[in-house]
Amino acid sequence: MTATANFRQVAQYIGLAICGLIVRTAFGILDILWGIITEIINGVFRVAIGVIVAILSTIAFFGFILWLFTL
């Protein structure tokens, strides 16, 4: 009885350890994927802001040139 109970308890601990390892691995993979997705989104926003700033700078430059012609 005692050996069977000990074996069952050890098997339960091993099963819980394996389940914990699987869950931690899944969360680790999700963390890596989440990091990749956020980096892609941040890159898209950075490019969009850069394009907007470039357009506004071009408009300001040509506006300044036109203003100089009016002097």
At residue 43 the predicted structure's pLDDT band, cuts being 50, 70 and 90, is very high
Quote the pLDDT of residue 6: 84
Alpha carbon separation from 3 to 7, 13, 15, 16, 48 (Å, rounded): 6, 15, 18, 20, 67
**pTM score over 0.75:** no
The amino acid sitting at 15 is G
- Over residues 15-26, the mean pLDDT reads 97
- Over residues 17-43, the mean pLDDT reads 97
Q: Could you give the residue ranges of the DSSP H alpha helices within the chain? A: 2-69
- DSSP annotation of 70: T
